[in-house]
Structure 1
Amino acid sequence: MKLLSFVKDGIPRVGALVAGGVLDLPLAYSSIHGTEAAPDFLYSMRRLAELGDPAVGVVRELIDRGRSDSDLLLDPSSIKWLPPIPDPEKILCVAVNYKAHGEETKHAPPEKPYFFPKFRNALIGNGDPILKPRVSYRVDWEVELGVVIGRRGKYVDEKEALNHVFGYTVVNDVSMRDWQFPPGWPEKLNAFGQNWIWGKSMDSATPMGPVIATPDEVGDPGNLKLTLKVNGETQQEGNTGGMIFGVPQLIHWASQGLTLRPGDVISTGTPQGVGEAKGKYLKNGDTVEAEVEKVGKLVNPVKDE
């Protein structure tokens, strides 16, 4: 399944991307069951993730029965997309998780994953503009595979880690490099003494989506092609096979002393090709396309704040 969050009549809803368009799941439930009331998990992706298999089973049945009914389908270009998980408790990102990216930015890979947070204020959905902050002139891109947690866990064993995955999404870890690496930043400090808050979590700095692809859609998360284009020109191209720490290891390390909850997102790092390494940065009028094989393509325009 490919699931998404969108707004209809001012109310967030959960939908499914099918061959004919976007299946409105609350509407499908009402139509099939002859009732105006639909379960709360059809209005909240995080709630759907929390309830797990029983709720997911209901969604699968709705998709099977409603995917061919044109009255229940919406044109994807007509909807207001939300981040697939609009309200995660935690967004955890991983620094320097691809050797080639570390080489291009002159950062040695860590001995264990180094996580930093991003905040909800930074979340935007497919089609929303990345606002180039008026205080930043080096706004960069980073395509990443996002892992959405579906099962609560702490001290998760690597062998069990994939059982905690609800699905996968696309994340663009937009970075304000002039704030992440301020002028005069001490050369002797390594990458992990950076200014992560301003450098990573200004408003609109975390485009996410367009969908969550369930594990059965994706298969091995360690062999997925990643691509990022700016105005149609390829800037990044890599494969999750190049990650230093794979998805099971990241879930294991992220859960050390910290409880992962349904709806939390782990963004797994970016391959080579970032703008900072080329002296290229996002500007007003650009269009950014971040794509992960088997998951989807996330498209966002860039606008001056």
Structure 2
Amino acid sequence: MKLLRYGPKGQEKPGLLDASGRIRDLSVHVDDIAGDVLSPEGLRRLAAIDPSGLPLVDGTPRLGPCVGGVGKFICIGLNYADHAAETGAEIPKEPVVFNKWTSAISGPNDDIEIPRGSVKTDWEVELGVVIGKGGRYIEEEDALSHVAGFCVVNDVSEREWQIERGGTWDKGKGCDSFGPIGPWLVTPDEAGDIGNLGMWLEVDGHRFQNGTTATMIFGVAHLISYLTRFLSLQPGDVISTGTPPGVGLGQKPPVFLKGGEVIRLGIDGLGEQTQKVVRA
């Protein structure tokens, strides 16, 4: 299934994408794509619904973040060997963990806002993992059974604030609009081989990132197991798993967003995002 949320900000309704690429309204069956709806049983109930019997949604409504009620937005840094190389960083011995604030979450095609005072706003296409079944001390061999689905994430980053201003990375990662999620949540049965998905990102038509999840250092199952040594995961938590090479910081010379650009990004089988860059 490809699950989604559509409508004005803060008023999104649940929906799914049918086989013809049309949005169907799920409001009669669930209140949101969130919480228990993401559990294995919740997803089984949705999978049993005949999409042709659901109301069609007219037009092309705004798409919201593909999951609601996110409790934690956890990110993994330097998780692609080729990206670590372009930044001059050593290959991490353990996953590098940081957070985005949930206020950073936005729809897949919403504007990205360059924060006031920013001079080094950057992009990162990433594979997002949405938790469906919570847990603590999850074994790696069981980890994928806790996944509700996968999605595209743009881990927008302010590099000066992340790297040059002291403290943790978080201050350069969690600004408002810095976490577009979607367009849809793709359940594992339709997501393909998550260990070998092509992923790409373009700015104004120029392709900067063109990579694959095959160069991940730590795979999805390992990341879930690793994180639950330190915290419990709940349904709706999002894990963004790192980016391949081609970020602005890695260009020679570096390239950063100024405002007015259009970013397009996508992952095989998981859909595409398009964002206009504006100044806050």
Give me the TM-score of the superposition, normalised by structure 1.
Answer: 0.86
TM superposition shift of 1:231: 1.2
* Richer in helix (by share): 1
The yes-or-no answer on 1:270 pairing with 2:243 is yes
- For 2:210, the equivalent position in structure 1 comes to 237
For residues 264 and 301 of structure 1, the distance between their equivalents in structure 2, rounded to whole angstroms, comes to: 26
Contact 1:87 1:120 in 2 (8 A): no
Three-state SS of the structure 1 residue aligned to 2:17 is strand
Deviations 1:9-51 (A, max 9, x none): 973211001215100112xxxxxxxxxxx34xx222113445x
Please, which runs of 5 or more residues in structure 2 have no aligned partner? none
Mark the structure with the bigger radius of gyration: 1
Q: Confirm or deny: 8 A CA contact 1:86 1:123 kept in the other structure.
A: no
In the alignment, structure 1 residue 161 sits paired with structure 2 residue 143: yes
Query: Is it true that 1:286 corresponds to 2:261 in the alignment?
Result: yes
Find the counterpart in structure 2 of residue 11 from structure 1.
Answer: 11
Does residue 250 of structure 1 match 2:223? yes
2:35 is matched with which residue?
Answer: 47
Task: Answer whether contact 2:163 2:169 (CA < 8 A) is retained.
Answer: no
CA distance in 1, matches of 2:163, 2:26: 44
Structure 1 counterpart of 2:277: 302
Query: 2:56 is matched with which residue?
Result: 73
Shift in CA distance, 122/10, structure 1 to aligned 2, threshold 3 Å? closer
From 83, 88, 93, the equivalent of 1:106 is: 88
Cα displacement (A) at 1:195: 3.5
1:82 is paired with a residue whose SS is coil
Gapped runs of 5+ residues in structure 1?
Answer: 27-37, 186-193
Deviation at 1:8, TM superposition (A): 6.4
> Residues 17, 178 of structure 1: CA spacing in aligned structure 2 closer, same or farther, 3 A cutoff?
same
Q: Are residues 104 and 121 of structure 1, via their aligned partners in 2, closer, same or farther at CA, if it must alter by over 3 Å?
A: same
Match of 1:35 in 2: none
Q: 2:77 aligns with which of 89, 95, 98?
A: 95
Amino acid at match of 1:43: D
Asked whether 1:25 is paired with 2:31, we answer: no
Is contact 2:65-2:107 (8 Å) kept? Answer: yes
Equivalent position of 1:197 in the other structure: 170
Superposed counterparts of 1:208-223, under 5 Å: 208-223=181-196
Question: What residue number does 1:171 align with?
Answer: 153
Output the amino acid matched with 2:4. Answer: L
Alpha-carbon distance between aligned partners in 1 of 2:92 and 2:243, rounded to the nearest angstrom: 15
> Contact 1:210–1:297 (CA<8 Å) still a contact in 2?
yes
Return the alpha-carbon distance in structure 2 between the equivalents of residues 119 and 20 of structure 1: 31
Shift in Å at residue 170 of structure 1? 0.5
Shift of 1:211: 0.5
Q: CA deviation at 1:203?
A: 1.0
2 CA distance for matches of 1:251 and 1:65? Answer: 35
Per-residue deviation, residues 142-185 of structure 1 (Å, max 9, x unmatched)? 000000001111111111111011000111000001111227x7
- The DSSP-based 3-state class of the residue aligned with 1:73 is coil
Distance across 2 between alignment mates of 1:8 and 1:124: 11
Match of 1:260 in 2: 233
Provide the C-alpha distance between the structure 2 equivalents of 1:210 and 1:136, rounded to a whole number of angstroms: 27
Segment of structure 1 superposing worse, 174-183 or 214-223: 174-183
1:253-275 Cα distance to aligned partner (Å, 9 max, x none): 11113111110011110000000
- Give the fraction of aligned pairs with identical amino acids, expressed as a percent: 40
Instruction: State TM-score, norm by structure 2.
Output: 0.93
Contact 1:20 1:73 in 2 (8 A): no
Paired letter, 2:48: E
Structure-1 separation of matches of 2:275 and 2:201: 11
Q: Please give the per-residue CA displacement for 1:261-303, whole angstroms capped at 9, x wherever unaligned.
A: 1100111100000001111111221111120111111111111
